[in-house]
Structure 1
Amino acid sequence: MHTIDLTYVGRGIHEELVAYVADQQDYYEQEAVHVALRDGCAWDGERVRRTATIGLGRAVLSRVTDGIPWTVLCVNTQRPLFWLLAREAYASVEELKGRRIGTHAPRTAPGCFSRIVLRKHGLDPDHDVRSVVMTPGDYGHHLRRLAEGSLDAAFVGSTLAPEVTAQENGLRLLAFVGDHFRIPTVGIAVDPTHIAPNDPAVLALVRANRRALRTIRDDPDLAVRYVNALIPSLSETEASRHYQRYIARYFTADGRHDPSVAAQAVSSVAQELGVSTVPDAADIYRTEPAEGSGANRLPGS
Structure 2
Amino acid sequence: MLSIDLTYVGAGIHEELIAQFADQEGFFEDEGVRVALRDGAVWNTDRVRAGATIGLGRALISRMTSGIQWTALSVNTHRPLFWFLGANGLKSMEDLRGRRLAVHGPRTAPGVFARIVLRKHGLDPDRDVQCVERIPGDYQMDLRRLREGSIDAAYVGSTLSAEQVAREEGFAVLSWVGDHFQIPTVGLAVDPSRIPLDDPALQAMVRAYKRSLKTIAEQPSLAVEHIASMMGRLTSAEAEQHYERYIRPYFSADGRVDLDVARQGVAAVAAELGISAGDADRMYLATL
AA in 1 matched with 2:126: D
Identical aligned residues as a percent: 58
AA in 1 matched with 2:284: Y
CA deviation after TM superposition for structure 1 residue 149, in Å? 1.3
CA deviation after TM superposition for structure 1 residue 287, in Å? 3.5
CA deviation after TM superposition for structure 1 residue 281, in Å? 4.0
Cα distance between partner residues in 2 of 1:90 and 1:37: 38
Counterpart in 2 of 1:191?
191
Structure 1 runs of 4+ aligned residues shifted over 4 Å read: none
Query: TM-score scaled to structure 2, two decimals?
Result: 0.97
Residues 237-256 of structure 1: pairs in structure 2 closer than 5 A: 237-256=237-256
Cα distance between partner residues in 1 of 2:238 and 2:134: 27
Counterpart in 2 of 1:135?
135
Q: Is the 8 A contact 1:138 1:159 kept in 2?
A: yes
Q: Which runs of 5+ in 1 are unaligned?
A: 290-301
Q: Is the 8 A contact 2:75 2:287 kept in 1?
A: no
CA deviation after TM superposition for structure 1 residue 138, in Å? 1.4
Structure 1 position 28 matched with structure 2 position 31: no
Counterpart in 2 of 1:287?
286
CA deviation after TM superposition for structure 1 residue 3, in Å? 1.5
SS in 1 for 2:76: strand
Q: Is the 8 A contact 1:88 1:172 kept in 2?
A: no
Residues 238-277 of structure 1: pairs in structure 2 closer than 5 A: 238-275=238-275, 277=276
Counterpart in 2 of 1:120?
120
Counterpart in 1 of 2:10?
10
Deviating more after overlay: 137-146 vs 68-77: 137-146
Cα distance between partner residues in 2 of 1:75 and 1:44: 23
Cα distance between partner residues in 2 of 1:282 and 1:237: 38
Q: Is the 8 A contact 1:255 1:287 kept in 2?
A: no
Cα distance between partner residues in 2 of 1:240 and 1:135: 29
Deviation readout 1:30-64 (Å, 9 max, x if unpaired): 11212111111121100000100001111111011
Cα distance between partner residues in 1 of 2:154 and 2:215: 33
Aligned residues: 288
Cα distance between partner residues in 2 of 1:53 and 1:94: 35
CA deviation after TM superposition for structure 1 residue 130, in Å? 0.5
AA in 2 matched with 1:29: E
AA in 2 matched with 1:284: M
AA in 1 matched with 2:69: P
SS in 2 for 1:106: coil
Cα distance between partner residues in 2 of 1:26 and 1:38: 18
Deviating more after overlay: 165-174 vs 133-142: 133-142
CA deviation after TM superposition for structure 1 residue 140, in Å? 1.1
Residues 196-215 of structure 1: pairs in structure 2 closer than 5 A: 196-215=196-215
SS in 2 for 1:223: helix
Q: Is the 8 A contact 1:93 1:175 kept in 2?
A: yes
Cα distance between partner residues in 2 of 1:54 and 1:48: 10
Q: Is the 8 A contact 1:259 1:281 kept in 2?
A: no
Counterpart in 1 of 2:149?
149
SS in 1 for 2:268: helix
Deviation readout 1:251-273 (Å, 9 max, x if unpaired): 00000111011101111111111
Q: Which runs of 5+ in 2 are unaligned?
A: none
Query: TM-score scaled to structure 1, two decimals?
Result: 0.93
- RMSD of Structure 2 on Structure 1 (CA): 1.1
SS in 2 for 1:287: helix
Cα distance between partner residues in 2 of 1:279 and 1:113: 19
AA in 1 matched with 2:124: D
Residues 147-186 of structure 1: pairs in structure 2 closer than 5 A: 147-186=147-186
Structure 1 position 278 matched with structure 2 position 277: yes
